[in-house]
Amino acid sequence: MNPAHEGRAGLAAVFVSVVQRDLLLAVRRRADVLTSFFFFIIVVSLFPLGVGPEPNTLREIAPGVVWVAALLASMLALQRLLASDYADGTLEQLALSAQPLTLLVLAKILAHWLVTGIPLVLIAPLLGLQFDLPVEGLVAMTAGLLLGTPVLSLVGAIGAALTLGVRGAGGLVALLVLPLYIPVLIFGAGAVSAAVSGQSVEGHMSLLAAFLLFSLAAAPWASAAAIRIAVE
Amino acid sequence: MELNIWRFASPQVIYPIAGRMVPVFMALAALFTLAGLYIAFFVAPTDFQQGESYRIIFIHVPAAWMSMLIYLVMAFWCAVGMIMNTRLSFMMALALAPTGAFMTFIALWTGALWGKPTWGTWWVWDARLTSELILLFLYVGFMSLHAAIDDVRRADRAAGLLALVGVVNVPIIYFSVQWWNTLHQGASVSLTRAPSMASTMLAGMLVMTIAAWMYGIAMSLMRLRTIVLEREADSDWVQELFASPACGAKA
Amino acid sequence: MNWGSAAEFFAMGGYATYVWGSYAVSVLVIVGELLLHGRRRRTCLRRLGRRVRPEKNPS
């Protein structure tokens, strides 16, 4: 992965190669990826035990519980997005390469979402069944997570980049990132509630899509700026 | 002309100027506070709906306004620092942050104490209250991030970037919560005040707001002076300042 | 003038807890901020004094 060697390669080729590299690393460090996945499942499963098995109550709290757990799980996974690359100097190489860092960061975020976001989207309907959600609710939850988890990865990348090599980075990331997750939580959980009560979810989904587009445009740029501050 | 402006970007030049301004603004803050409290308690009439409990707004509203304004000013200085690469801008932002956080806390505390007699509950998940809470988190995040990074230059820039990200997000969060609140009609409480507000009430609020401004300016300049000394301890001008016997006595 | 007596003033029409609770905490916060800053400034000045004139202030 010599950056100079890739000087003439197309941006798309570089993008794909960064995604492939990160996916390969994730496969090699399976345990890391599985941690946040099982964290998600365990947190969601704890709530019925704490609240009680009353189906009506469970249906009511399901959207919020699943979404809050998704927020926490994707925040937990952020520590693996950039930290190891920062520690071994890869990030510095990427920052110095001829390719725009924004694009490389986007590639890393995409790879990160594929290994941490997609599993959440896939397992969520099963967890929804535990909460006795109707089919409409399950569909809205899956669709909402599909639109919302990339936003979490994109926004979270800013927090991960800002806390690179910082004392107590884990707790700090939570403090920086969780407030920024609030809009996604509101509309993600709102979509499920609306679907369960038979209302249209179009408004919620449009707003989630808008957040996705906005964070797609702004977050990689901000993360790249934060990485430059860290490696400089 | 341009040379003159740049002169003020130097900590060495600003340090004594700020030192002369602090007592002036503190005195103004005290003066306006006394005037404001006099209007608030002795001139403004009792509210016919809320009784005497409404007198909390004389501290609540100025604190809430200040908390938001200080965050904007802080983000402005961060932006200036990121673009122009001036050390002093970041020191300004850092000097403002604790005052902003304290103002946010006052706004939340008084909001709860006002809400209890007015709505019968300490807290409602209203857009304004929720955004104010998020604002507190943003202030704490800004200060924690800065404190967690040892390299001052890096800490300045990282916290600066965070402040700018926060500025973009606060309106999004505000409107999200507002929209969410209208969906949950049962829990929503209308915060709009009575349409006709006695002019003396408004006057008291404005005077208290000016007092809060003066206090914010005085406090941030005071803190700016301390931050300048902390950071420039090794520079010649600070050494000279403290080597002279006159200043030694003050220290 | 809204108040017949000092007791009436302090009672705040039955809302004393809320009104005085707000103002007391605000005063506490402001005094606390001033004290915190005073301590920070004294620490800073002490350190500076030691650095500039080490012969007079042996640490």
- Residue A121 is predicted with a pLDDT of 94
Give the one of B56, B102, B109 whose C-beta lies nearest to C19's C-beta.
B56
Is residue B5 exposed (0-12), middle (13-18) or buried (19+ Cβ within 10 Å)? exposed
> Do B217 and B31 touch, CB atoms closer than 8 A?
no
Amino acid at B130: T
C31 to chain B, any CB pair closer than 8 A? The answer is no
Asked if B41 has any chain C CB less than 8 Å from its own CB, the reply is yes
Task: Write the residue in C9, C22, C41 that is nearest to B113 by C-beta.
Answer: C22
**B109 to C26: CB separation less than 8 angstroms, yes or no:** yes
Helix (H) or strand (E) holding C10: helix C6-11
CA A161 – CA A232 distance, rounded (Å): 13
Dihedral of the alpha carbons of A122, A123, A128, A129, in degrees to the nearest 10? 110
pLDDT band, very low/low/confident/very high, at B188 (cuts 50, 70, 90): very low
Is residue C53 less than 8 Å (CB to CB) from chain B?
yes
Contacts of B248 in chain C (CB under 8 A): 49, 53
Are B148 and A186 within 8 A, CB to CB?
Answer: no
Task: Tell me the C-alpha distance between B150 and B21, whole Å.
Answer: 31
Task: Say yes or no for a CB contact (<8 Å) between C26 and B251.
Answer: no
Residue B104: its chain A contacts at CB < 8 A? none
Q: Give the Cα separation of A204 and B153 in Å (integer).
A: 41
Q: How many CB pairs under 8 A join B and C?
A: 96
Contacts B108 to C, Cβ<8 Å: none
* Residue A97: pLDDT band with limits 50, 70, 90: confident
Closest chain B residue by Cα to residue A232? B154
B2-6, B177-181, B185-189, C30-34: lowest mean pLDDT where?
A: B185-189
pLDDT digits (tens, 9 = 90+) for A36-91: 899 999 999 999 999 888 888 898 899 999 999 999 999 988 888 888 889 888 88
Token reading at B64: 């809430």
Average of per-residue pLDDT across B119-127? 80
Instruction: At B29, list the tokens.
Output: 């803050």
Residue B78 has pLDDT above 70, yes or no: yes
CA distance B225 to chain C (A): 9
CB contact under 8 A, B161 and A186: no
Which positions in chain C touch B251 (Cβ < 8 Å)?
45-46, 48-49
DSSP H/E element including A99: none
Taking an 8 Å cut-off on Cβ atoms, the answer to whether B233 and C51 are in contact is yes
DSSP assignment of chain B: -HHHHHHTTSHHHHHHHHHHHHHHHHHHHHHHHHHHHHIIIIISPPBTTTBGGGGGHHHHHHHHHHHHHHHHHHHHHHHHHHHH--HHHHHHHHHHHHHHHHHHHHHHHHHHHHHHHHHSSS----HHHHHHHHHHHHHHHHHHHHHH-SSHHHHHHHHHHHHHHHHHHHHHHHHHHHHHHHHSGGG----PPPSS--HHHHHHHHHHHHHHHHHHHHHHHHHHHHHHHHHSTTSHHHHHHHHSHHHHHH-
Delimit the domains of chain A by residue range.
3-231
C-beta of residue B56 within 8 angstroms of C-beta of residue B110? yes
- Please tell me the total count of domains within chain C: 1
Residue B190, pLDDT above cutoff 70: no
**A225 chain-B contacts, CB cut-off 8 A:** 161
In chain A, which residue's Cα lies nearest the Cα of B158?
A162
Chains contacting A (3+ CB pairs below 8 angstroms): B
Average model confidence (pLDDT) across chain B: 85
Residue A189 has pLDDT above 50, yes or no: yes
Residues of B in contact with C46 (CB under 8 A): 251
Note the pLDDT of residue B217: 95
Mean pLDDT of B193-211: 79
The predicted complex's ipTM stands at: 0.86
Query: What range does the domain containing C37 cover?
Result: 23-52
Both tokens of residue B15?
């340090």
Cβ-contact A222, B166 below 8 angstroms: no
pLDDT band at B120 (very low <50, low <70, confident <90, very high): confident
* CB atoms B148 and A179 under 8 Å: no
Enumerate long-range contacts of A92-100, CB under 8 Å, 24 or more apart. A92/A231, A93/A1, A93/A3, A94/A3, A94/A18, A94/A227, A95/A227, A95/A228, A95/A231, A96/A3, A97/A3, A97/A4, A97/A6, A98/A3, A98/A4, A98/A6, A98/A7, A99/A3, A99/A6, A99/A11, A99/A14, A100/A11, A100/A224
Whether chain A has a CB inside 8 Å of the CB on B168: the answer is yes
Whether residues C33 and B99 touch (CB distance < 8 A) is answered with yes
| Contact indicator for A202, B161 with CB cutoff of 8 Å | no
CA B2 to chain C, closest CA, distance in angstroms equals: 33
Dmax (CA) for chain B in angstroms is: 69
Residue C45: inside a domain: yes
What percent of chain A stands above pLDDT 70? 96
B189 phi and psi angles, rounded to 5 deg? -125, 135
Alpha carbon distance B37, A231 (integer Å): 52
Residues B15-27: what's their mean pLDDT?
93
Burial class (CB in 10 A: 0-12, 13-18, 19+), A154: buried
* pTM, two decimal places: 0.88
Minimum-distance CB partner of C13 among B52, B116, B233: B52
